[in-house]
Amino acid sequence: MLYFYLWERGPFVQGFLPALAASWRQRSFSPCREMCLDLIPAAKAFSTRYCLGGDPLLLKQVADGLPFERHSWRCLVGEILMIGAVEIPEIETAPDSLCCLLVPDQYRQDNSSRPSFAPIQQVHFGTRDLVFDAAIYRPDYAGWNDRADIERLACYLGDVDPESWRVSDLFSHRDLADDRERAEELEYLQDWFPALRELYRNACDKAQIVICEAIC
Protein backbone atom coordinates (compact mmCIF):
# COMPACT_ATOMS: atom_id res chain seq x y z
CA MET A 1 0.00 0.00 0.00
CA LEU A 2 1.19 3.50 -0.81
CA TYR A 3 1.10 6.21 1.88
CA PHE A 4 1.59 9.96 1.61
CA TYR A 5 2.90 11.81 4.69
CA LEU A 6 2.44 15.58 4.66
CA TRP A 7 5.04 17.43 6.72
CA GLU A 8 5.79 21.04 7.50
CA ARG A 9 9.06 21.73 5.71
CA GLY A 10 10.89 23.38 8.64
CA PRO A 11 10.59 20.49 11.12
CA PHE A 12 11.44 18.01 8.37
CA VAL A 13 14.51 19.73 6.89
CA GLN A 14 15.83 21.39 10.02
CA GLY A 15 14.92 18.73 12.59
CA PHE A 16 14.11 15.29 11.26
CA LEU A 17 16.77 14.97 8.54
CA PRO A 18 19.80 16.30 10.48
CA ALA A 19 18.93 14.52 13.74
CA LEU A 20 18.56 11.12 12.08
CA ALA A 21 21.65 11.72 9.91
CA ALA A 22 23.73 12.51 13.01
CA SER A 23 22.32 9.44 14.71
CA TRP A 24 23.39 7.22 11.82
CA ARG A 25 26.81 8.86 11.53
CA GLN A 26 27.55 8.54 15.27
CA ARG A 27 25.89 5.10 15.62
CA SER A 28 23.98 6.54 18.55
CA PHE A 29 20.41 7.60 19.25
CA SER A 30 21.61 10.53 21.36
CA PRO A 31 21.28 13.14 18.54
CA CYS A 32 17.59 12.30 18.06
CA ARG A 33 16.48 11.65 21.66
CA GLU A 34 15.26 15.21 22.19
CA MET A 35 13.20 15.00 19.02
CA CYS A 36 11.73 11.70 20.19
CA LEU A 37 10.82 13.23 23.54
CA ASP A 38 9.11 16.14 21.80
CA LEU A 39 7.09 13.70 19.69
CA ILE A 40 5.78 11.57 22.58
CA PRO A 41 2.45 13.48 22.85
CA ALA A 42 1.93 13.04 19.10
CA ALA A 43 2.90 9.38 19.43
CA LYS A 44 0.26 8.84 22.13
CA ALA A 45 -2.38 10.48 19.97
CA PHE A 46 -1.27 8.37 17.01
CA SER A 47 -1.50 5.16 19.04
CA THR A 48 -4.99 6.06 20.25
CA ARG A 49 -6.23 7.00 16.80
CA TYR A 50 -4.97 3.81 15.16
CA CYS A 51 -5.72 1.54 18.14
CA LEU A 52 -2.13 0.39 18.58
CA GLY A 53 -1.46 -1.85 21.55
CA GLY A 54 1.32 -4.10 22.78
CA ASP A 55 4.88 -2.84 23.18
CA PRO A 56 5.60 0.89 23.42
CA LEU A 57 6.40 2.63 20.17
CA LEU A 58 10.08 2.60 19.28
CA LEU A 59 10.14 6.37 19.58
CA LYS A 60 9.31 6.06 23.29
CA GLN A 61 11.96 3.37 23.75
CA VAL A 62 14.59 5.58 22.13
CA ALA A 63 13.60 8.48 24.37
CA ASP A 64 14.06 6.14 27.34
CA GLY A 65 17.62 5.24 26.31
CA LEU A 66 17.40 2.33 23.85
CA PRO A 67 20.90 1.42 22.56
CA PHE A 68 21.60 2.04 18.87
CA GLU A 69 21.10 -0.70 16.30
CA ARG A 70 20.91 -0.23 12.55
CA HIS A 71 17.64 -2.12 12.24
CA SER A 72 16.12 -0.06 15.07
CA TRP A 73 17.33 3.14 13.40
CA ARG A 74 15.54 2.27 10.16
CA CYS A 75 12.38 1.36 12.06
CA LEU A 76 12.59 4.65 13.96
CA VAL A 77 12.80 6.62 10.70
CA GLY A 78 9.62 4.95 9.45
CA GLU A 79 7.82 5.52 12.74
CA ILE A 80 8.68 9.21 12.92
CA LEU A 81 7.66 9.72 9.30
CA MET A 82 4.15 8.70 10.29
CA ILE A 83 3.94 10.26 13.74
CA GLY A 84 5.50 13.58 12.78
CA ALA A 85 3.24 14.08 9.76
CA VAL A 86 0.61 16.79 10.01
CA GLU A 87 -1.65 14.68 7.81
CA ILE A 88 -1.77 11.21 6.24
CA PRO A 89 -4.46 11.51 3.56
CA GLU A 90 -6.47 8.36 2.94
CA ILE A 91 -6.74 8.06 -0.82
CA GLU A 92 -6.73 5.18 -3.27
CA THR A 93 -3.82 4.95 -5.70
CA ALA A 94 -3.03 3.05 -8.89
CA PRO A 95 0.42 4.16 -9.99
CA ASP A 96 0.94 1.41 -12.58
CA SER A 97 -2.36 2.14 -14.30
CA LEU A 98 -1.74 5.89 -14.35
CA CYS A 99 1.75 5.27 -15.71
CA CYS A 100 0.23 3.09 -18.45
CA LEU A 101 -2.23 5.87 -19.30
CA LEU A 102 0.04 8.89 -19.13
CA VAL A 103 3.51 7.61 -20.05
CA PRO A 104 2.98 4.32 -21.90
CA ASP A 105 6.57 4.16 -23.16
CA GLN A 106 7.84 4.40 -19.59
CA TYR A 107 5.34 1.75 -18.49
CA ARG A 108 6.50 -0.68 -21.16
CA GLN A 109 10.16 -0.25 -20.15
CA ASP A 110 9.37 -1.37 -16.58
CA ASN A 111 12.92 -0.67 -15.40
CA SER A 112 12.96 3.01 -14.50
CA SER A 113 14.89 4.28 -11.49
CA ARG A 114 14.22 7.45 -9.52
CA PRO A 115 16.46 9.73 -11.65
CA SER A 116 14.45 8.81 -14.77
CA PHE A 117 10.97 8.86 -13.21
CA ALA A 118 8.22 10.53 -15.23
CA PRO A 119 6.17 13.18 -13.38
CA ILE A 120 3.31 10.79 -12.56
CA GLN A 121 5.85 8.39 -11.00
CA GLN A 122 7.38 11.25 -9.02
CA VAL A 123 3.90 12.07 -7.75
CA HIS A 124 3.57 8.55 -6.33
CA PHE A 125 7.13 7.65 -5.35
CA GLY A 126 8.96 10.93 -4.84
CA THR A 127 11.55 12.86 -6.80
CA ARG A 128 14.27 12.48 -4.13
CA ASP A 129 15.65 9.65 -2.00
CA LEU A 130 15.44 10.01 1.78
CA VAL A 131 19.15 10.46 2.48
CA PHE A 132 20.65 10.57 5.98
CA ASP A 133 24.40 11.07 5.78
CA ALA A 134 25.61 7.78 4.20
CA ALA A 135 22.28 5.98 4.70
CA ILE A 136 19.36 5.94 2.27
CA TYR A 137 16.05 4.95 3.83
CA ARG A 138 14.27 2.25 1.81
CA PRO A 139 15.49 3.53 -1.60
CA ASP A 140 13.13 1.33 -3.63
CA TYR A 141 10.09 2.08 -1.47
CA ALA A 142 10.33 5.62 -0.12
CA GLY A 143 11.05 9.07 -1.50
CA TRP A 144 9.97 12.66 -1.06
CA ASN A 145 9.02 15.83 -2.90
CA ASP A 146 10.30 19.19 -1.73
CA ARG A 147 8.44 22.46 -2.16
CA ALA A 148 9.68 23.15 -5.70
CA ASP A 149 8.89 19.56 -6.72
CA ILE A 150 5.37 19.91 -5.34
CA GLU A 151 4.73 23.18 -7.18
CA ARG A 152 5.85 21.55 -10.43
CA LEU A 153 3.87 18.36 -9.87
CA ALA A 154 0.74 20.22 -8.76
CA CYS A 155 0.83 22.14 -12.06
CA TYR A 156 1.39 18.89 -13.94
CA LEU A 157 -1.59 17.19 -12.28
CA GLY A 158 -3.73 20.25 -12.88
CA ASP A 159 -3.13 19.98 -16.62
CA VAL A 160 -4.21 16.33 -16.80
CA ASP A 161 -7.77 15.79 -18.07
CA PRO A 162 -9.20 12.45 -16.86
CA GLU A 163 -12.24 12.87 -19.10
CA SER A 164 -9.97 12.48 -22.14
CA TRP A 165 -8.89 8.97 -21.08
CA ARG A 166 -10.20 6.04 -23.09
CA VAL A 167 -10.45 2.31 -22.44
CA SER A 168 -8.08 1.73 -25.36
CA ASP A 169 -5.39 3.71 -23.51
CA LEU A 170 -5.09 0.78 -21.09
CA PHE A 171 -4.66 -1.83 -23.80
CA SER A 172 -1.00 -2.46 -22.89
CA HIS A 173 -1.74 -2.88 -19.16
CA ARG A 174 -0.24 -6.21 -18.11
CA ASP A 175 -2.82 -7.00 -15.42
CA LEU A 176 -6.02 -6.22 -17.32
CA ALA A 177 -7.25 -9.10 -19.45
CA ASP A 178 -10.10 -7.59 -21.48
CA ASP A 179 -12.12 -4.44 -22.18
CA ARG A 180 -14.44 -5.08 -19.23
CA GLU A 181 -11.54 -5.01 -16.79
CA ARG A 182 -10.02 -2.03 -18.58
CA ALA A 183 -13.32 -0.14 -18.37
CA GLU A 184 -13.63 -0.85 -14.64
CA GLU A 185 -10.07 0.32 -14.05
CA LEU A 186 -10.64 3.47 -16.07
CA GLU A 187 -13.71 4.34 -14.02
CA TYR A 188 -11.72 3.74 -10.80
CA LEU A 189 -8.91 6.02 -12.01
CA GLN A 190 -11.31 8.80 -12.99
CA ASP A 191 -13.01 8.57 -9.59
CA TRP A 192 -9.79 8.83 -7.56
CA PHE A 193 -7.54 11.04 -9.67
CA PRO A 194 -9.14 14.28 -8.35
CA ALA A 195 -8.17 13.30 -4.78
CA LEU A 196 -4.54 12.86 -5.84
CA ARG A 197 -4.58 16.21 -7.62
CA GLU A 198 -6.16 17.85 -4.56
CA LEU A 199 -3.51 16.36 -2.26
CA TYR A 200 -0.73 18.08 -4.20
CA ARG A 201 -2.67 21.31 -4.66
CA ASN A 202 -3.26 21.55 -0.90
CA ALA A 203 0.35 20.69 -0.10
CA CYS A 204 1.45 23.41 -2.51
CA ASP A 205 -0.92 25.99 -1.00
CA LYS A 206 0.28 25.15 2.54
CA ALA A 207 3.98 25.04 1.59
CA GLN A 208 4.21 21.46 2.85
CA ILE A 209 6.37 18.61 1.61
CA VAL A 210 5.19 15.13 0.64
CA ILE A 211 6.88 11.88 1.65
CA CYS A 212 5.78 8.79 -0.28
CA GLU A 213 6.27 5.30 1.14
CA ALA A 214 5.12 1.92 -0.11
CA ILE A 215 4.45 -0.52 2.74
CA CYS A 216 3.62 -4.15 2.04
Q: In 3D, which of 126, 125, 120, 86 has the Cα closest to residue 106?
A: 120
* Per-residue model confidence as pLDDT tens digits over 132-150: 999 999 999 999 999 999 9
User: How far is residue 164 from each of residues 95, 102, 153, 170, 190, measured CA to CA in Å?
Assistant: 18, 11, 19, 13, 10
Other CB atoms within a 10 A radius of the CB of residue 164 amount to: 8
Q: Please give the average per-residue pLDDT across 195-214, as a whole number.
A: 98
pLDDT digit string (tens) for 68-116?
999 999 999 999 999 999 999 999 999 999 999 999 998 888 667 888 8
Q: How many residues does the chain have?
A: 216
The C-alpha atoms of residue 79 and residue 101 are separated, in whole angstroms, by 34
Average pLDDT of span 169-181: 95
Domains in the chain with CATH codes: 2-214 (3.40.1760.10)
Least confident range from 6-20, 21-35, 108-122: namely: 108-122
Euclidean distance between CA atoms 109 and 8, whole angstroms? 35
